[in-house]
Amino acid sequence: MSGDDTLVDELLNGKHRALARVITKIENRSPGYRELVSQLHDHTGNAEVIGITGSPGAGKSTLVDKMAATYRDRGETVGVIAIDPSSPFTGGAVLGDRIRMGSNVGDMDVFFRSMSARGSLGGLSTATTDAVKALDAFGKDKIIVETVGAGQNEIEIVKTADTVAVLVPPGSGDDVQMLKAGILEIADIFVVNKADMDGADRTVMELREMVQMRDESPMAGHHGMEDMAGDEVESDDADEDDGTGWEPRIVETVAKNGDGVEEFLSTITEHVSWLAESGELEAQTRKRYEAEIKTLLREDTAALLEEELAARGGVETYVDRVLERETDPYSVADELVAPIETCVRERRQD
């Protein structure tokens, strides 16, 4: 344990290698990583976390590079976590986002870390959350989480961010359609990147229409958090009449030469101050910790049950019996959960 204690101290003292190693332990779920993250928790809560997502080739990495460079010019330190998919067959991955970080190579105060999805569904969002904590505890001012926006998993990941930006390349008429399915709800800011390309105006227009439609829909909500409305302070923006208070902004950028990046960053700042003023920040943080606790509980109980299953001879024997019509899946689940149920209930009564 003492090795991990020094690791935490070294991380808090700003040693890059220690930070890198802590993230490795988080990713590998090495023995002792839970204690590590627990110890870090006390030192977190100071960084501003920005999530960037969008389809492959939208220019995410390039934009992140320019964002990091701009923050550095302002004297702020930056952490970046870039998540790439891994092969479901071999687990291998080529993590290529680093190549785009041309403006920040050699600058140690931009801590860039590539992570692969490692095929673990729930695990990735946990690992990301924990890695963000490590960067936060290390003292990074801004933390950017970058991921391909392909599905539910990615949505879970970007939810660790205070502000979520979705990149939409011009001319992606069909992509905009696709966005309706889920990514729309999570976007605080839409970035039409490659805005110098044909079709950019049209994409901006389509997005604008979509945002307006969203506002008219009673199902719409910011991060799906309207159920938290009890905690919400009335927004004082006179032009906001839907009660949610934040209408997703649309900004145009040309990431490769840095056009529009300043404007994008000030829109982020605007969103962050809105979060703070509206009380949404607190609500979001509460929601996030709640989700984190629930995820851990789910994973831990699942692991406990795996253990139990293995002790009883593995899932295969149960499958055999189900096939033979000796039992059925529900009964198997009941049988396995019963001892835990009894134990927990007895403890509670003590």
Partner 1 sequence: MSTEQEQRTIRCLVAKVGLDGHDRGAHVIARAFRDAGFEVIYSGLHKSPDDIVQAAVQEDVDVLGISILSGAHDTLVPKIMDGLREYDAFEDTLVLVGGIIPEDDREELYEAGVAEIFGPGASMAETIEFVRENAPER
The tokens for 207 are 């997005």
Per CB under 8 A, 20 contacts partner 1: yes
Closest CA to 55 of 198, 201, 203: 203
Residue 309 binds partner 1 (CB under 8 A): no
Instruction: Determine contact, residues 59/169, Cβ cutoff 8 Å.
Output: yes
Task: Give the residue among 180, 148, 161 at the shortest CA–CA distance from 58.
Answer: 148
**Identity of the residue, 256 or 321, whose beta carbon is nearer to partner 1 in the bound complex:** 256
The reply on whether position 299 binds partner 1 by CB under 8 A is yes
Closest by CA to 193, choosing from 51, 52, 83, is 52
Q: Which residue from 86, 129, 153, 193 is in contact with partner 1, where contact means CB under 8 A?
A: 86
Compute φ and ψ for 232, nearest 5 degrees.
-80, 130
291 scored as a contact of partner 1 (CB under 8 A)? no
Among 205, 213, 229, 304, binds partner 1 (CB under 8 A): 304
Q: Does 21 bind partner 1 (CB under 8 A)?
A: yes
Cβ 56 to partner 1, closest distance in Å? 16
Work out the end-to-end distance of the chain between its first and last CA atoms, rounded to an integer number of angstroms. Answer: 32
Which is nearest to 265 in space by CA: 58, 109, 64, 44?
64
Range in contact with partner 1 (rule: CB under 8 A) among 18-26, 49-57, 281-289, 342-350: 18-26
Residue carrying the six token digits 């539910």: 152
**CB of 167 vs partner 1, minimal distance in Å:** 21
Amino acid sitting at position 235: S
3-state secondary structure string across 3-37: HHHHHHHHHHCCCHHHHHHHHHHHHHCCCCHHHHH
Binding partner 1 by CB under 8 A: which of 28, 217, 257, 285? 28
- Beta-bridge partners for 163: 50
Nearest to 187 by CA among 209, 214, 205: 214
Binding to partner 1 by residue 340, rule CB under 8 A? no
9, 13, 17, 46: which one binds partner 1 (CB under 8 A): 17
The CA distance from 211 to 215, in Å, is 6
Stretch that binds partner 1, among 19-27, 160-168, 174-182, 254-262 (CB under 8 A): 19-27
Residue 1 beta carbon to partner 1: minimum distance, rounded to whole angstroms: 14
Examine residue 16 and tell whether it contacts partner 1 (CB under 8 A). Answer: yes
Cα dihedral sign for 254, 257, 263, 264?
Answer: positive
Residues β-bridged to residue 51:
145, 164
- 336 in contact with partner 1 (CB under 8 A): no
The residue within the footprint of partner 1, chosen from 296, 309, 322, 336 (CB under 8 A), is 296
Q: What character string, x for contact with partner 1 (CB under 8 A) and - otherwise, covers 189-228?
A: ----------------------------------------
Residue type, 33: Y
The mark string for 107-126 relative to partner 1 (x by CB under 8 A, - otherwise) is xx--xxxx-x-x-x--x--x
* CB-nearer residue toward partner 1: 295 or 327: 295
How many of the chain's residues bind partner 1 (CB under 8 A)? 47
Buried b (16+ CB within 10 A) or exposed e, 189-214: bbbbbbbeeebbeebbebbeebbeeb
Tell me which residues touch partner 1 (CB under 8 A): 15-17, 20-21, 23-24, 27-34, 86-87, 90-96, 98-99, 102, 105-108, 111-114, 116, 118, 120, 123, 126, 296, 299-301, 303-304, 307
